[in-house]
Structure 1
Amino acid sequence: MMAQRFEGKVMVVTGAAQGIGRGVALRAAAEGAKVLFVDRAAFVPEVAAEAHCADTAGFVADMETYDGAAATMAYAVEKFGRIDILINGVGGAIRMRPYAEFEPAQIDAEIRRSLMPTLYACHAVLPHMLAQGRGTIVNISSNATRGIRRVPYSAAKGGVNAMTQCLAMEYGEHGIRVVAAAPGGTEAPPRRVPRNAAGDSEQEKRWMAEATRQVTESTFFKRYGTIEEQIAPILFLASDEAAYITGAVLPVSGGDNG
C-alpha cells in the first residue's frame, strides 16, 4: 500500500460490490481517495461503509444501461465536485460453453455485461473530464481475448482493449489518460450475487472445468492470481506514478498475455 497516494483525488469504481472492484475501491479509500462505490447490487452502500471513511459513498446503478452510467457520473460530481479517476470494473463471463452451444440471447447478454458498461461509462464521464482538462480512466479488461469456452466474453474484452487505445489517442491532448489492466484467472470469495443467476447445469460445470484447466495451464505459474495481485497494478495505472502511460493494456495474468 502506498500511503495517501490518492489524497485529494475523486475516484469512481464500478462493479465495486464484489471481487476485484471491491478490493480496488477499498484500497483506494485507504490510500486517501474520495471513492464512489458503484454497483447494481443493493448492498453496495454496505461495502462503501467498510472503508470507515467519511469520503466514500455507495451508489446503486445498472451500468448495463446508459441512464445508469450517466446518473453515476452526475451523482459523483454532485457529491464530490469532480471525477479525477474512473475505474471500469463491471464485467465477467456469465457462462462457459463452446461457442456453438451459445443461444443468441446469451451472446447478447455477454456483450451487454462485459462491453457496454465500459463503453457507456467512458462516454458519460468524458464531458466532466473535458471540463476539468484532465482525468484518468482505467478499464478492466481480461487476458481472455484468447481462451476457450467464452467467445462472446472474449470478444467483449477485445472491444475494451480497442476502446482503450482509441480513446487514449483521441483524448490525450485534452489531458485525459486511458489505460487498461487485463487480469488473468483470479481466485475470489464466493459471490453474493452470482454472474449466472439461473445456475449451471452439470454439463456447464464440465465446460467450466475445461476452461479453468486451460486458464491454469496457460499461465507460467500454473495457478490463478489473487485479488491482491490484481489490485496493485490497477491502482498503479490509476495513480500519478503512471502519468506518462496511456493507451496501454497491461496483462496481469502470470505470463499468459491473451
Structure 2
Amino acid sequence: MRFSGKTMVVTGAAQGIGRRVAERAAAEGAEVLIVDRAQARNDVVKAIKAAGGTAHAVAANLETYSGCKKAIDKAISLWGRIDILVNNVGGTIWAKPYEHYDPKQIDAEISRSLMPTLYCCHLALAPMLEAGKGVIVNVSSIATRGLNRVPYGAAKGGVNALTQNLAWEVAERGIRVVATAPGGTEAPPRITSRIPDKGEAQREDWYQAIIDQTVQSSFLKRYSTLDEQAAPILFLASDEASYLTGVTLPVGGGDLG
C-alpha cells in the first residue's frame, strides 16, 4: 500500500503501460485520475472499481495546452491537490527513415510525444508548489537511440532534458521529477491505431527494422511485459525513491538508449 492516501494523475491510461500503472497504483491505495481521449478510459475506471480501488476519468486532448489544463483542473476539482503526476501519453506515429517524413509528420511526432509532458508539467507545478511536495514521473523511451524514429527520438530526448532541468529547479521546493525510458513492450493490440495512414509500401519493412533493432539492442533479447514497465514507474513515484530526482531510468533489458 505504497500509495495509500495519495492522489495520482496518469495520462494515456486507457491502454498499455498507462493502464497497468493506474491499475497497480489503485491496488496499492492511490486514488487515480485516468486521462485519455479514448472511450476505453471508462473501462479502466470500471475495472479499478471492480477490484476495490478508486478511480475517475476525464477526456482530454493532451496535445493542446487547453486539453492539459482540463485534465489538471479536473484533478484539482476532485482532490484539491496532485500528489503524483505520471506523464505517460505519447508514442511513435510513423516509423521510417527520416528522409521519408514530411514537415507535418515531424510536427505531429513532437506534438504527440513532447508537448503533453511539457504542458502537464507546467500546469501541475502550481498546486505542487503550493503544497510544497509532489512527484512527477515522465515516461520517455530508449528510442532516443534507434532506427526509423528520428522525430520521436528527438521528442523523447526533450522529455529527458525536461526531467533533468525541471528537477533541478524544484528540488529544494519539495518536488521530485524523474523518468523511465521504456524499451520494446509486449502489449495487447491498440484500441486505436497511432498510424493515421498506411499507404507507404515499405511501412511494414520499416517497422520490422525497429522490432529487430530493439530486440538486438537488448541484452535480454526480448520485449518486456507491461508489468516490467509499470513496476519501475511506480517505484520512482513512491516514497521508496525519495532520494532520486532528475534521473531517467532505462528499462530496456540492458539497452541504455
Fold match (TM-score > 0.5): yes
Match of 2:22 among 3, 22, 25: 25
Q: Runs of 4+ in structure 1 displaced over 3 angstroms?
A: 199-202
Deviation, structure 1 residue 202: 3.7
SS in 2 for 1:236: helix
Structure 2 counterpart of 1:228, one-letter code: D
Per the alignment, residue 127 of structure 1 pairs with: 126
Alignment partners' CA distance in 2, 1:12 and 1:100: 37
Deviation per CA, 1:114-134: give whole Å up to 9, x if none: 000000000010001011000
Alignment partners' CA distance in 1, 2:54 and 2:141: 30
Per the alignment, residue 102 of structure 1 pairs with: 101
Deviation per CA, 1:133-189: give whole Å up to 9, x if none: 000000000011000100000000000000000000000011000000000011111
Contact 1:49 1:57 in 2 (8 A): no
Contact 2:26 2:53 in 1 (8 A): no
Structure 2 counterpart of 1:159, one-letter code: G
Alignment partners' CA distance in 2, 1:54 and 1:93: 31
Per the alignment, residue 149 of structure 1 pairs with: 148
Per the alignment, residue 91 of structure 1 pairs with: 90
Please say which of residues 197-206 and 229-238 is displaced more in the overlay.
197-206
Contact 2:27 2:53 in 1 (8 A): no
When the two structures are superposed, what TM-score results if normalisation uses the length of structure 1? 0.97
Per the alignment, residue 5 of structure 1 pairs with: 2
Per the alignment, residue 242 of structure 1 pairs with: 241
SS in 2 for 1:11: strand
Deviation, structure 1 residue 217: 0.4
Contact 1:34 1:80 in 2 (8 A): no
Structure 1 alignment gaps of length 5 or more: none
Contact 1:183 1:252 in 2 (8 A): yes
Per the alignment, residue 221 of structure 1 pairs with: 220
Alignment partners' CA distance in 2, 1:198 and 1:37: 28
Per the alignment, residue 188 of structure 1 pairs with: 187
1:198 aligns with 2:185: no
Deviation per CA, 1:183-240: give whole Å up to 9, x if none: 0011111000111132364411110001110111011011111111001000000000
Per the alignment, residue 110 of structure 2 pairs with: 111
Structure 2 counterpart of 1:14, one-letter code: T
Contact 1:219 1:253 in 2 (8 A): yes
SS in 2 for 1:100: helix
Deviation, structure 1 residue 54: 5.8
Structure 2 counterpart of 1:245, one-letter code: L
SS in 2 for 1:181: strand
Contact 1:46 1:58 in 2 (8 A): no
Alignment partners' CA distance in 1, 2:199 and 2:17: 22
Aligned residue-pair number: 255
Contact 2:48 2:54 in 1 (8 A): no
When the two structures are superposed, what TM-score results if normalisation uses the length of structure 2? 0.97
Structure 2 alignment gaps of length 5 or more: none
Structure 1 counterpart of 2:94, one-letter code: R
Alignment partners' CA distance in 2, 1:234 and 1:51: 18
1:40 aligns with 2:37: yes
SS in 2 for 1:50: helix
